[in-house]
Every structure is written in structure tokens, then in C-alpha cells.
Structure 1
Amino acid sequence: MLELVQEIPSTNAALVARVGGGDCLLEGHWLIADRQTAGRGRAGRVWSDGFGNFMGSTPVRLAPHETAPQTLALVAGLALWDAIAVCAPGLPALYLKWPNDVLVGQAKLAGILLERVGNTVIVGIGVNLASAPVVPGRETASLAALGHPVARDAFAAILAERWAAHLGAWHAGQWPALRAAWEERAVPRGTLVSVNDRDHGPIMGGFAGIDADGVAQLRLADGRVLAIHAGDVDLVGEPAPPAARGDA
């Protein structure tokens, strides 16, 4: 079900409030806004709405003993990458970046925000379809500017279908296959990234994939591999060429 509203402070905040108030939202329900007046990203960042862009949120009901909930950000990224690829076939340098961004080259095209309320995770997604916000110190992109205009509602239907398929696989215990698919679409291993890690401070190394719990791996200059559980990951220069894939 796609629930469309003209204007709302935040689709994520609205679903968080509804779930917190006892509303039993079903998986497959999407709240999609024409405009958000208080949209946000990770770490409380403000993210401009941009009329014609996609701004929507959907709930996930967690069952006992399922895969680590944080992997849902990667499952959402996979669905998002697939939907973009359908709407913009042949778009070069389309990458997933851990934990929650879709890039074209070094420019951010889309982002994901997860918020948990009890046994429900609210998955929020924003995609620059018609326009890209100006973000100081960061490149951004839109599908329209890249030569692939797509109507918001058409994109929403494709995304909802891809999300339902991947979420069903996640619930069915197919995270290992989803993890492999995510890595195939991610910035290549060996890509130099900088991380402002909460445990280690600012560090730099080569992206070395994700582990079974969806935790990013960073290979340092001395050969050690460091697990990055949380933090901002930024590309340093262009992504590594595909030939660099492997155990970088």
C-alpha cells in the first residue's frame, strides 16, 4: 500500500509516532510525501526535500532470532540500487556505499535512515529524482540531471516491488545471498575511504567489504583489517577500478 501525502515534517517521524502509539502497520505499507519540512538523515542531519524527489518510509516487523536488524540498511540499499538501475539503465558508476548511501561516482544520489521502535524498524529512503540539494563539502546528483527523468510515483512502485522481494528473502534467512549481492553493487574493494569512527577516531584505509553482520571492514596500510561498526565513511578520490575487487 502506498499512502501519499502532500506535506509532512518527516515520513520516518510520522511512522515512528504511529508505531509508538500502537498503530499496527503492516509490512508493505509506504508513507510517501510530496514535501517534507523536517526531513533528516543519519546523525540528525537535515536533508532537503526537493519537490519531485522520492521521500518515503516503510515498517519492518522483527521476529526472534532473525538476522541482525542493522543489515536492513544494506537490504534497503540493494532494493534501492535495483530500482534505480531499472529507471536509469546503463547508468555508469552506480555504487552502494556502506552503510546507507547510493552514489554515482562520488556524488550522493540517495540515502537511507533506520529507526527502531520496539520490534519494528522504520526504513526511510530519500532519492534525488528531480533535483539534488546543495550540501556543503559534498557532491550530490539527481537522476534528471543525469539524463534519466522518472516520475516519483512510477519510481515508488518499482522500489516497493524490489523492497518486498528482498525483504521477503531477508525474513526467509537468505541474508548471505543478499550480502553477496550488496557487495557486487558496492564501491569496489580497495577503494580508499576515510572513516570518522566512534571507537578509533579518524582513520583511512581500503574498503574490504562487509562481514556476516553487515559490519564494514577497513584494511589499513599495515595490513590489519579493522571492523567499522558505526561512523561516517567517505570516499577519498574516485572509486577503485573493478579490477581491484577481491581481498584488497
Structure 2
Amino acid sequence: MIRIVEETGSTNADLAARLSGREYLPEGEWLVADRQTAGRGRLGRVWNDGAGNFMGSTVVRPGPGDPPASTLALMAGLAVHEAVAKFLPYSAQLWLKWPNDLLLDGAKVAGILLEMTGGVVIVGIGVNLVAAPEVPGRKIAALADYAPPPGRDVFAETLAAEFAVERQRWRTAGLAPLLRRWQSAAHPMGTRLTVLPPGEEALEGSYAGLSEDGNLLLGLADGTLRTIHAGDVLLASAPH
């Protein structure tokens, strides 16, 4: 079920408040806003957006037999990738960047924020369908830059369907198939990355895939591999 509101501060915050109030939110229920005035991105960034773009949140209820909840970031990224790809020409370069940013020709077109409340994971997703907000120091794109964009409601239905498929695969097929599919949708191996781990100086290296538990592997200049568990990842350039 997709519930639409005209304006709210944050769809993630709205779902968190309902969960904190002991309301039961089933998987498959979405809250979508025409406008968001207090949206948040990863690492505390402000991510507000206007009418025509997609801004929505849903929940996942991890169970004891599921893969680690942290890997939902990869699952959600893959779902968004699959949904957006349906509306793009084949020539467009659509890449995932760890853990779940979606890039179009190197510019961010979608982002995801996961938060946990009482054991329930809230998944907030923003996709630039018709317009790209200005973010200082970041390349931002919209689907409209590459193809006629779908209506917001059409995209919402498509995303909800893809998310349900990927959630079921994550839950029943396990982590290994998800990691393989995520890596096939990511930027090429060897892509130059700049990583800003929390509390550390920037690391320069090359994309070397994912670890068995879904963390980023960064190839350093001395030939060693560094496992990245958290941090901001910037795309420096594609390999030649």
C-alpha cells in the first residue's frame, strides 16, 4: 500500500514516530510525500526536495533467519537501481556506489537513508525524477536529463514492486547472490575512489569489490586491501 501526503518534514521521521507510538507498520507499506521540508541524507546531510521527484519511506522487519540488517543498504540500492533502469535508455551509465548511492554518468540521481527503530529498519529513498537539487561540491543529476521521466506515482508503484522482489530475494536466497548482483550493477572494478572514514583522514584507492559481509574493499597504493565499514565514498574517476 502506498500512502501519499502533500507535505511533511521527513517520511523517515514520520514512520519512526508511528513506530515509537507502537503502531504496527507491515512490510510493503510506503509513505510518499509531494514535498519534504526536513529531509535528511546520509551522514546528517540535508536533502529536501520538491514536487515531481520521488521521496518516500518503507519498513523492513528483519527476522532471526535473515542476513544481517546492515546488508539492507545493498538490497535497497539494488531495488532502486532496478526501478530507475526501467525508465532509462540503454546507453545511460547507471552505477551503484557503496553502500547505496545511485549514479547517472557519475552524478548522484538517488540516495537512501536507513534508520532502525525498535528492531524495525526504516528505508528512506529519494530519486530525482524531474529536477536535481543543488548540492555544493557534488554532481547531481535527474532522470529528466536523460529520458522523459515517469510520473511520480508510476515510479512509486514500480519501486514498490522492485523493492518487494529484492526484499524476498535477500530473505530467501541469502547474501552471496545479492553481493554478486550488486557488484554487477556497480561502477567498474578499479574505479578510483576517495573514502572519508569517520575520524580519519581521506583515503585514496581503487574499488576492489565487496567483502563477504558486504563491506567495501579499497585497494591502496601499496597493494594492500582496506575494508571500509563506514564512511563517505566519492567517485574520483573511472578506470581507463
Q: TM over 0.5, yes or no?
A: yes
1:104 and 2:104 equivalent? yes
* Aligned residues of 1:63 and 1:119 also touching (Cα < 8 A): no
Partner of 1:240: 239
* 1:10 corresponds to: 10
Aligned to 2:164: 164
1:23/1:91 CA distance change after superposition, 3 Å: farther
Shift of 1:67: 1.1
> How many Å separate the matches in 2 of 1:102 and 1:240?
18
| TM-score normalised per structure 1 | 0.94
Is 2:216–2:229's contact at 8 Å kept on the other side of the alignment?
yes
Structure 1 contact 85–91 (Cα < 8 Å) conserved: no
Identity %: 50
Q: CA RMSD in A?
A: 1.2
Residue type at the aligned position of 1:202: A
2:127 corresponds to 1:133: no
Equivalence map 1:81-230=2 (5 Å): 81-198=81-198, 200-230=200-230
- Deviation, 1:131, is 0.3
Tell me the CA shift for residue 192 of structure 1. Answer: 0.5
Secondary structure of 1:55 counterpart: strand
- Do the aligned residues in 1 keep the contact of 2:67 with 2:174 (CA within 8 Å)? no
SS in 2 for 1:15: helix
- Is 2:27–2:58's contact at 8 Å kept on the other side of the alignment? yes
Contact 2:95 2:187 in 1 (8 A): yes
SS for the counterpart of 2:40 is: coil
1:245 alignment counterpart? none
How much does 1:37 deviate? 0.7
1:59 match: 59
**Further displaced range: 3-12 or 60-69:** 60-69
Asked if the contact 1:209/1:217 (under 8 Å) is kept, the reply is yes
Task: Quote the residue 1:244 is aligned against.
Answer: none
Amino acid at match of 2:239: A
1:169 maps to a residue whose letter is R
Which string of whole-angstrom CA distances, capped at 9 and with x for unpartnered residues, describes residues 105-164 of structure 1?
221000000000121000000000010000111111001122232100001111111100
1:146 aligned partner, one-letter code: Y
Scaled by the length of structure 2, what TM-score is found? 0.97
Distance 1:28 1:100 in 2: 20
CA distance in 1, matches of 2:193, 2:117: 32
User: Residues of 2 paired with 1:88 and 1:50: CA distance?
Assistant: 21
Counterpart CA distance in 1 for 2:80 and 2:139 is 19
Q: Is this contact kept in 2: 1:67–1:173, CA < 8 A? A: no
- Which ranges of structure 1 fall in alignment gaps of 5 or more residues? 242-248
Question: Runs of 4 or more off by more than 4 Å in structure 1?
Answer: none
SS at structure 2 position matched to 1:74: helix
